[in-house]
Amino acid sequence: MSAPLPILHRDDDLVAVDKPAGLAVHRGWAPERDVAMTRVRDALGHHVFPVHRLDRATSGVLVLALHKEAARVLGQAFAAGAVHKTYLALVRGIPPEEGLIDHALPPGEDRAQARVPAQTAFVRREVFGRYALVEVRPLTGRLHQIRRHMKHIACPLIGDVNYGKGEHNRLFRERYHLHRLFLHATSIELPHPADGATLIIQSPLPVDLAEVLARLRAGR
C-alpha cells in the first residue's frame, strides 16, 4: 500500500496535502493507479475532487475539494485569478532581480495549437555562481508554464529533462544527487469556499532540495 501524503490543512470543505515529485495528481494525467487523489481518498476514507493542476515532476501544496460545491467554488476562484501560487525554482543562469514574463504559450502539449496569453512574475532570491534561486508566481495556469517561461528568458530549471540543459542536469545528478526537477510549490493563497476568507497554506522545502541549497551556499 502506498504511503499517505502529509496533510497540510483539512476542514469540512477542502484538504491540502504535500505532494512529492514524481506522483501524478489523478489518473487522467497518468496511466498508473498510484496517484495523489487515490492516496488522499484512501487516507481520509472520503471522495476528493481536483481543483487545480500540479505537474507530476513538481512537489508541494496540492489542494483537493471534499465535496462538489466546494470544487465548484474553488474552480471559479482559480478561473477568476483569485488564487495565488508561489514556487521556488533553481535555474541555470542569472535572471534580473525581478520581472514579469509575458509570453503566449500553447494551452497543452501540442505545440501546433494556437497560443494563449501567459504571464509569470518572478523575484531572484539568491545567486550561486552560474545558478540562481528564484521565487516564481504564475499569473495564468498554462501547462508547464513556469518551465517554459524560464526557458524563454534563457534560465531553464535544473532537472528539467524537457526544457532544460542536459549538461547541467547531469552535473546536479552527479555532484548533488538531485534526480528530480528543482521546482516546489511553497504556498497557495485562496478564498475559502465556505466564506471567502483568505486561506494561506504552506509547504516546507523537501529535504533533497534543501540539501542542494545548503551545499551551494557552502560552496561545495
Q: Which residue among 11, 12, 13, 55 is the active-site one?
A: 55
State yes or no: pLDDT of 29 exceeds 60: no
Q: Which of 89-98, 162-171, 179-188 has the lowest mean pLDDT?
A: 162-171
Domain formed by 7-83+187-204, architecture: 2-Layer Sandwich (3.30)
Q: What's the Cα-to-Cα distance from 33 to each of 60, 70, 151, rounded to whole Å?
A: 20, 25, 32
Beta-carbon neighbour count of residue 165 at 10 Å? Answer: 15
On average, the pLDDT of the chain sits at 93
Mean pLDDT, rounded, for 98-108: 91
> What pTM did the predictor assign?
0.94
What pLDDT does 108 receive? 66
Mean pLDDT, rounded, for 152-178: 95
- What amino acid occupies position 211? E
Q: Are 106 and 115 in contact (CB under 8 A)?
A: yes
Q: Write out pLDDT tens, residues 130-145.
A: 999 999 999 998 889 9
Q: Which of 104, 91, 90 is nearest to 156 (CA)?
A: 91
Mean pLDDT, rounded, for 6-30: 90
What pLDDT does 204 receive? 96
Catalytic site includes residue 160: no
- Quote the CA–CA distance of 184 and 118 in Å, as a whole number: 20
Q: Write out pLDDT tens, residues 32-69.
A: 778 999 999 999 999 999 999 899 999 999 999 999 99
Reported for 36-42, long-range contacts at CB under 8 A and 24+ positions apart, including other chains, are: 36/5, 36/62, 37/64, 38/2, 39/2, 39/3, 39/4, 39/5, 40/4, 40/5, 40/15, 40/64, 42/1, 42/4
Reported for 212-216, long-range contacts at CB under 8 A and 24+ positions apart, including other chains, are: 212/90, 212/172, 212/176, 212/178, 212/182, 213/90, 213/126, 213/133, 215/176, 216/128, 216/131
State yes or no: pLDDT of 30 exceeds 60: no
Expressed in angstroms, the distance from the first to the final Cα of the chain is 38
Which CATH superfamily hosts domain 85-176? Pseudouridine synthase (3.30.2350.10)
SS3 186: strand
Residue 81, by phi and psi: left (phi above 0), alpha (psi -120 to 50) or beta? left
Mean pLDDT, rounded, for 142-169: 94
In the chain, the percentage of residues whose pLDDT exceeds 90 is 85
What pLDDT does 190 receive? 98
- Ranges in the chain annotated CATH 3.30.2350.10: 7-83+187-204, 85-176
Q: Write out pLDDT tens, residues 63-85.
A: 999 999 999 999 999 999 999 99
What pLDDT does 33 receive? 79
The pLDDT confidence band at residue 21, using thresholds 50, 70 and 90, is very high
What pLDDT does 31 receive? 62
